[in-house]
Structure 1
Amino acid sequence: MKLVEPPSCSSPSTVVFIGQNRRGQWVAQEQNGLYGGLFVSRAQAIKYALFENGHHLETIVELPRELELDMSRRPQALADRRAA
């Protein structure tokens, strides 16, 4: 019998936050700002998050507070390269 580790153990996944902004649109945003988007439904936000994070449902966190899409943040690795 071959043992297989669950996806969450075999590959590092990033957390994706989903929630609604103040206008009622659904937001999906990767925790470090690598990707994100606005959606008309919760289902579409989850579908996008799953596609982007390699189908790791356990890394999607729905927030009870407002979540505004922030595409101005740069990933730390990119910021470090530009500073050097």
Structure 2
Amino acid sequence: DGDGATARQDFSATLLAPMPARVLEILISEDSLVEENQPLLRIEAMKMVMTLSAPGRRRIQTLHIQQDDGILAGQLLITFAKVD
């Protein structure tokens, strides 16, 4: 029926960098609970500031970056824990 596959794809356990950038501001802390579309961090790439938001209701498990870090495209930024 495919429902199980959809449910698995719906949970994203990580946030990856969309492009090379610099971490301007981290708006959350480890172990905090975030809601869907809540801003998590701001990055700057090519003089543009972008806000990366939560893909859904999650708990922040691990922050893999710090403010002012240079990041690469595809780099792991945040690991989430599922919230029941």
TM over 0.5: no
Task: Give the alignment's TM-score, normalised by structure 1.
Answer: 0.30
The structure richer in strand per residue is: 2
Give the number of the structure whose alpha-carbon radius of gyration is greater. Answer: 1
- Structure with higher RCO (Cα < 8 A, 6+ apart): 2
TM-score, normalising length from structure 2?
0.30
